Amino acid sequence: MTQKVNAGLAILEEMIDRLPGSERKIAEYILKFPKESINLTVVELGKVSGTSSAAVIRLCKSLQVNSFQDLKLRIAGDLQNERQDLRDIEPNEAFETMVEKITLQSIRSLRETTNMIDMVQLTKAVEVILEASHIYIFGVGASGIAAMDVQQKFMRINKYCSYYPDVHLAATAVANASKKDVVFGISSSGNTHEVAKILEIGMQAGAKTISLTRYGNSLVADLAEINLFTATSLEPTFRSGATSSRLAQLHVIDMLFMCIATTTFEQTIGYLDTTRMAIDTLHQKLPKRKTANEQELSE
């Protein structure tokens, strides 16, 4: 698989608020001077950021990149494509401006989420879902919308799955999961306590676990064997957790679904045709039921 050559700046933006002091100083320097940073060595970056070469190495580990060279390659890839600054909405803005802002926001969210996808983790997720007897999906709030989307898509291709909006029902169901099952937890922040608990219960039951969260270590991601990430740092405060993060989650779910579909192409087409025909019958008129008198006359 090819090495990732983008998303360096997006990863730094995602992680900056969760980094310890010295690592955060380095991240802030790189975000402020990205062009200059890609020409520095580990030692030089440590000096100009007022930290140390050891702190640069620790930063790379925190960012989950292989090395400082890997991070520089990703940043260089970002610099080849202009990243527009995105602003939050303001009072009484023109509707035309609002439409443009939201569109740019959505495009950037999808692109940066795509750049963050780890193909090894995505492949593992496809494999365990294909082998699963039952998939339990759980998300809270806006992430619950994404969880419902997983259920709707997977059920159409004959993957037995359940979404429980109630945490008590979810805990009860997941407690009875087996090693053949998968528990899929979705949390934009990665720190939703209820989602973490459902994954923990699933793990204790022996089920395989998948998380879909913002990039990096988090309460939810740390409890899952397989991690899928989204870009959420560019979510404006006014719409926090409601727009870009949801789009990014649905984007990853679409990727996961399509990878499963192409792996089992003929089966998937068959299942989709069957479910499509079943839905079409819902619009057909039901046969008129005969009355008791009509029944007697026909006999």
Residues 30 and 137 in one domain: no
Q: Does the residue 252 lie in any domain? A: yes
Mean pLDDT of all residues in 247-252: 94
Q: Report how far residue 24's alpha carbon sits from residue 20's, in angstroms, rounded to the nearest whole number.
A: 6
Q: Which domain holds residue 241?
A: 116-279
Residue 31: pLDDT band by 50, 70, 90 thresholds?
very high
Instruction: Supply φ then ψ for residue 82, to 5 degrees.
Output: -65, 130
Q: Report how far residue 260's alpha carbon sits from residue 4's, in angstroms, rounded to the nearest whole number.
A: 22
Mean pLDDT of all residues in 62-91: 81
Residues 268 and 164 in one domain: yes
Residue 232: pLDDT band by 50, 70, 90 thresholds?
confident
Q: Report how far residue 85's alpha carbon sits from residue 108's, in angstroms, rounded to the nearest whole number.
A: 10
Residues 186 and 274 in one domain: yes
- Cβ contact 77:8 at 8 Å: yes
pLDDT tens for residues 161-214? 999 999 999 999 999 999 999 999 999 999 999 999 999 999 999 999 999 999
Residues 122 and 241 in one domain: yes
Q: Reduced to 3 states, what is the DSSP secondary structure of residue 213?
A: strand
Q: How many domains does the chain have?
A: 2
Q: Does the residue 190 lie in any domain? A: yes
Per DSSP, 43 falls in state H
- Model's pTM, two decimal places? 0.82
Q: Which CATH number belongs to the domain containing residue 18 in this structure?
A: 1.10.10.10
Q: Quote the crossing angle between the two packed helices 244-263 and 95-116, to the nearest 10°.
A: 50
Q: Which of 192, 216, 277 is nearest to 62 (CA)?
A: 216
**Does the pLDDT of residue 6 top 80, yes or no?**
no
Residues 216 and 261 in one domain: yes
- Give the per-residue pLDDT at 2: 47
Residues 152 and 22 in one domain: no
- Give the per-residue pLDDT at 190: 93
Q: Reduced to 3 states, what is the DSSP secondary structure of residue 87?
A: coil
Q: How far is CA 249 from CA 101, 111, 127, 146, 151, in A?
A: 20, 12, 20, 6, 14
Q: How far is CA 8 from CA 57, 67, 73, 75, 273, in A?
A: 15, 12, 8, 5, 42
18, with CB counted inside 10 A (0-12, 13-18, 19+), is middle
**Does the pLDDT of residue 14 top 90, yes or no?**
no
- Give the per-residue pLDDT at 85: 58
Residues 75 and 170 in one domain: no
Residues 138 and 231 in one domain: yes
**Does the pLDDT of residue 154 top 90, yes or no?**
yes
